[in-house]
Amino acid sequence: MPQEHSSHSPFRDGFAALVHEPVLLPAELVWRWGFGFSALGLGVLSIALFLDSIKLTRGDEFLIRTWQPGLLSSALQHSFRGSLNRFVLEQAVLILGVMVLWALAATAGRSATLRRLVDMFSADDEAQPLEWNFAPILVLQLMRVMWTLIALAVAIGSLLYGMTMAQNQHAVRAALALSFGLGLASLFGIVLNWYFGIAPLFCVRSRAGPMEALDQTVEFSGRQGGRLFLLGLGFLALRFIWAATMFLVFLSPLNLAVKIGPRGILSLMGVMALAYFAGADLLSLARLGAYASLAEDDAHPLFAMEPEMPPELDQPPDLAPMLGLA
């Protein structure tokens, strides 16, 4: 779907790609929602199995039924004694497994989506064989997962350390931990997550390996930093408007509580939540299309062409006949 540069706009191209190829959005929803529901099911199942493994004594059941905060706390502490470590270990293994599952799902989805977007915006009219580039994209997604876990661990550690220092009246240490530790971890996490998210585009465009794709992503962002910033700002504004609108719509069923009951309210809220996620995925896919369009524009920059001189003007005119010197 190459366009003339005079009317070229990556922002508009991202949405135009969805109109030109409507199957892109359903394909995006399939892998995203398939992973989301699978991860949610695994989380609920793990918690259910853990709770089922806990044995309550008659004394604990009696204390829980009283609903007194003090007695309830004592019963829960007695019931969970010795099993909390097992629960933490199970959840850690579950998180790692879910992360690997996400990397596999994202690799399959991104390979198909990016290949179609690159084909649409490619300036090369010759057909190229379809390549999934599964292995380098999978490596990038696993690196993205690893870095996300590292950044999250550093951020949580800085937060806990800062809170501890604040309680111990160490104001300077608390301020450094909360500002520099938490802030820098969040900043580096966001920036590197963005690079890892864009790098698969160059795995498909250039058939590059993971490290080469990262190098090309850094070079691309350096050359097109201003346009990338404007694109990100535009899509962020649309995301904020969409979230604010759907939040108001999400709360609207509360006015119908008397007529439809709690189950009806929960059903409507569930449908509206799915509508919000579908809109958010649409914006993410349009942004990816805008990046693909901008990458193609970056690979084929438009240079001003100097007008060609007529052949007869390539050499200076012979003025001798005009001056009577011939």
Please state, for a pLDDT cut of 90, what percent of the chain lies above it: 34
Quote the domain boundaries for residue 254.
224-297
Do both 212 and 232 map to the same domain? no
Do both 252 and 234 map to the same domain? yes
Do both 203 and 234 map to the same domain? no
Q: CB of 213 within 8 A of CB of 202? A: yes
Burial profile 238-261: b = 16 or more Cβ within 10 angstroms, e = fewer:
beeebeeebeeebeebeeeeeeee
Do both 201 and 237 map to the same domain? no
Predicted TM-score (pTM) of the model is 0.79
* Listed residues 67, 94, 121: the one ending a domain: 94
CA angle, residues 215, 217, 219, in degrees to nearest 5 = 70
Residue 314 lies in a domain: no
Do both 194 and 235 map to the same domain? no
Residue 306: pLDDT band (50, 70, 90) is very low
Task: Look at the block and give the residue holding tokens 């971890």.
Answer: 185
Do both 171 and 254 map to the same domain? no
Do both 232 and 168 map to the same domain? no
* C-alpha separations of 143 from 94, 137, 212, 263, 282 in Å: 18, 10, 14, 42, 25
- Reported as a single tens digit per residue, the pLDDT across 65-97 is 677 676 667 766 666 676 777 778 888 888 888
Do both 209 and 268 map to the same domain? no
For residue 180, what is the DSSP state?
Answer: I
- Reported as a single tens digit per residue, the pLDDT across 212-230 is 999 999 999 999 999 999 9
- What is the rounded average pLDDT of the residues 54-63? 69
Residue 282: pLDDT band (50, 70, 90) is very high
Do both 274 and 205 map to the same domain? no
Do both 246 and 213 map to the same domain? no
* Listed residues 66, 94, 122: the one ending a domain: 94
* Domains in the chain, number: 3
